[in-house]
Amino acid sequence: MKPTTVLVSVDSNSILIGAKHFANVLKDLTREHNLGSIVDVLETGSMGNYNGVIIAILPDDVYYLVKTEEEVRRIFEEHILKGRKVHSLAIDKEKIPNAYISEKKEETKIVTRNIGEIDPKNIEEYIARDGYFALAKALKMKPEEIIEEIKESGLRGRGGAGFPTGLKWEFTAKSEASQKYVVCNADEGEPGTYKDRLIMEGDPHSVVEAMIIAGYAIGATKGYIYIRGEYYGSVENIRKAISDAYEYGFLGDNILGSGFSFDLSIRLGAGAYVCGEETALLESIEGHAGRPRLKPPYPPQSGLFGKPTVINNVETLANVPQIILNGAKWFKSFGTESSPGTKVFCFAGNIAKRGIVELPMGVTVKELVYNYGGGIAGGRKLKMIQTGGLAGTFIKPEQADTPLDYDSYKNYGVSLGSGVILGIDDRSCVVDIALNVMRFFRHESCGKCTACREGTRAAVTILEKMSRFEATLKDLDLLKNIAKLAADASFCGLGQSFPIPLLSLIENFEEEFIAHIEEHRCAAGLCKKVEKKKKKSTKVF
């Protein structure tokens, strides 16, 4: 370790605001000044803030938020060369979501504990922070004991559905088969969600380690990480992690002399949201179009290539090594009784401080938006918040006291989902939002079942009419009926859940829909009357 370490937050989000370039500038300056033996410039994962690039200088514990190369040069010249803090660029540690937690409630950083702290491409840095210790411990336990520990911890799936992870593992372990699989669902396509990407980019080994443990626990010898085709940074870091894990003997034959063998490979998605649905994902790995399968049988009985399979989300898996190391009791000391542990939340839309934050389950929407998200950008008025992802609920600011955990939907009608907090300011129109959401689902519907394929199409048609001020009150009723029908009759989670955002919008903002219908008025001025074209249009309704 060199006397001075400069950490630059480099992840896919930060790169777009210059992080990679800034890191290179710092490295060049270090070389130019012959400081290579004293100063280490390291690229680390996300520090959770995107209003600029965060640079940390250790051991001084000074954090800077920079936007230009000139600012980076100034920090180098003043702070690193002369030891003088650049006050105008320094930020409080509290302003960094991740660092804030590590100071106030250090113990809540479970999934993101290494992100922004280690070089994700260096397996030794992961090992130095107890990496693969959980694997070594697990291999000395009986598979049943591991499953019992995970069950006892109360860990539930972080992808959105919230199924108990230990039970999933137990069902798969109990299925008799010559071959079983572990699959990591890294096809994060939920608009607003980018936590899995940051976990894979910032701490890829935690996912790899968890998959090996899962394989041992359920009796699987092969695993796949199915990553979104567009996630180049994640693919790169996971690929490196896998090859290093092979080299260190954590993957392959006879892992750590335990007699257990496990192989892991990456498979790429190719731009289909529906592949986030577990059985559609399996179809995709098998080389088919990603259309969901009828359930049951569920993957623990018949999954990949018809064999018992455990499918877990990236964030779920990243919890596993820590549970094995620290025990179920420790894990249960965070969060709420029915939803133990933490959740990584992503801020999106018009939230002032967009980035990620990991907090115990049960944190309220209000705390998230105002304490960690810094409120609404540009000092505008908050109109609504969508929680849980695009298939989640839209709520009014008045409902922001709701605590987010797996019961929040049941108790208050507010989704936890994948943990998105999408703030929307007063410049938006609900019809425009509903149309945007429904166009997304229309495009992403795989077309296998009528309720979803036709339901999404019909909803878009009605909303388009509404935005042209041509809809009637009957259309609004029809929209509600379509949503309710699709929720009941759709084949998979996609079709069953698109009604959730739609109905929550209508329920909370019905007067705005009615203003479009009866008064031909759009408060935001986004909807416009369209002059009739000469060409005959085919009307559906």
Partner 1 sequence: MLTKEDVKKIVNEAKTEALEEQDLLIYTLHKIQDHYNENYIPPEVAEWVGEELNVTPAKVYEVLTFYTMFSTKPRGKYVIRVCTSLPCHVAGGREIINALKDELKIDWNQTTKDGLFTLEETGCLGLCGVAPVIMINKDFYGDLTPEKVREIIRELRRGDSE
Q: Tokens standing for 469?
A: 């001020």
Cis check: omega of the bond before 297, within 30 degrees of 0: yes
Cβ distance to partner 1 smaller for residue 48 or 340:
48
Q: Is 255 in the site for partner 1 (CB under 8 A)?
A: no
Binding mask 299-328 for partner 1 (x = CB under 8 A): ------x-----------------------
Binding marks (x or -) toward partner 1, 74..93, rule CB under 8 A? Answer: --------------------
Residue (109 or 442) nearer to partner 1, CB:
442
Q: How far is the CB of 358 from partner 1 (least distance, A)?
A: 15
Q: What is the separation, in whole angstroms, between the first and last Cα of the chain?
A: 70
User: How remote is the C-alpha of 383 from its chain's centroid?
Assistant: 24
Is residue 406 part of the contact set for partner 1 (CB under 8 A)? Answer: no
The stretches of 327-469 forming alpha helices (DSSP H) are 328-332, 365-366, 408-412, 430-444, 450-467
CB burial of residue 454 (10 Å; 0-12, 13-18, 19+): middle
Q: What are phi and psi of 365, to 5 degrees?
A: -60, -40
Q: Would you say 150 or 466 has its CB closer to partner 1?
A: 466
DSSP reduced 3-state for 29? helix
Q: What is the total count of residues that contact partner 1 (CB under 8 A)?
A: 63
* 8 Å CB contact between 373 and 421: yes
Among 127, 256, 268, 325, binds partner 1 (CB under 8 A): 268
* Residue with smaller CB distance to partner 1, 14 or 461: 14
User: Interface with partner 1 includes 272 (CB under 8 A)?
Assistant: yes
- Site residues (CB under 8 A) for partner 1, limited to 196-215: 196-197
Q: Does 358 bind partner 1 (CB under 8 A)?
A: no
- Nearest-angstrom CA–CA distance, 332 and 154: 7
Q: Is position 293 an interface residue for partner 1 (rule: CB under 8 A)? A: no
Does residue number 348 form part of the binding site for partner 1 (CB under 8 A)?
A: yes
Tokens of 303: 């999954």
3-class secondary structure, 90: strand
Three-class DSSP category at 297: coil
Considering the complex, what minimum distance in angstroms separates the CB of residue 395 from partner 1? 14
Using CB under 8 A as the binding rule, whether residue 159 contacts partner 1 is answered as no
| Residue choice 42, 422, 483, 506 for contact with partner 1 (CB under 8 A) | 422
Query: Using CB under 8 A, which residues numbered 440 to 469 contact partner 1?
Result: 440, 443-444, 446
> Nearest distance from residue 273's CB to partner 1, in Å?
5
Rounded (10°) CA dihedral 146, 150, 153, 157: 170
Q: Is 458 exposed, middle or buried (0-12, 13-18, 19+ CB in 10 A)?
A: buried
**Is 138:146 a contact under the CB 8 Å cutoff?**
yes
285 dihedral zone (left: phi>0; alpha: psi -120 to 50; beta): alpha
The residue within the footprint of partner 1, chosen from 210, 437, 459, 486 (CB under 8 A), is 437
The residue range among 152-160, 193-201, 246-254, 471-479 that interacts with partner 1, by the rule CB under 8 A, is: 193-201
In this chain, which of 164, 229, 297, 397 binds partner 1, going by CB under 8 A? 229
Under rule CB under 8 A, which residues in 7-36 are in contact with partner 1? 12-13, 15-17
Query: Within 10 Å of residue 265's Cβ, how many Cβ atoms?
Result: 11
In the complex, least distance from residue 49 CB atom to partner 1, rounded to whole angstroms: 8
CB of 310 to partner 1, least distance (A): 15
User: Using N-to-C axis directions, what is the helix angle for 430-444 and 499-508, rounded to 10°?
Assistant: 170
d(CA 274, CA 303): 17
Dist. CA 74–CA 409, nearest whole Å: 49
Burial class (CB in 10 A: 0-12, 13-18, 19+), 325: middle
Instruction: Give least dist CB 12 to partner 1, A.
Output: 6
**Segment lying near partner 1 (by CB under 8 A), choices 29-37, 129-137, 286-294, 480-488:** 286-294
Q: How far apart are CA 270 and CA 287, in angstroms?
A: 11
Place of tokens 């429904």: 438
- Our CB check for partner 1 shows the closer of 216 and 406 to be 216
Q: Which lies closer to partner 1 via its Cβ, residue 147 or residue 438?
A: 438
Tokens read off for 539 = 């009307």
Question: Per CB under 8 A, does 439 bind partner 1?
Answer: yes
294 membership: H or E segment, kind and range: none
Supply the minimum distance, in Å, between the C-beta of residue 229 and partner 1. Answer: 5
Rule CB under 8 A: is residue 216 a binding residue for partner 1?
no
Among 107, 148, 152, 230, binds partner 1 (CB under 8 A): 230
Query: 34: part of which helix (H) or strand (E)?
Result: none
Indicate whether 157 belongs to the interface with partner 1 (CB under 8 A).
no
Among 143, 349, 360, 388, binds partner 1 (CB under 8 A): 349
Cβ neighbours of residue 221 under 8 Å, at least 6 residues apart? 179, 180, 215, 261, 262, 263
Span interacting with partner 1, options 29-37, 337-345, 409-417, 432-440, rule CB under 8 A: 432-440
96 lies in the binding site for partner 1 (CB under 8 A): no
Q: Does 494 bind partner 1 (CB under 8 A)?
A: no
User: Which of helix, strand or coil describes residue 208?
Assistant: helix
Binding site for partner 1 (CB under 8 A): 12-13, 15-17, 50, 188-194, 196-197, 222, 224, 228-232, 263, 265-273, 284-290, 305, 346-350, 354-356, 386, 390, 420, 422, 424-425, 428, 433, 436-437, 439-440, 443-444, 446
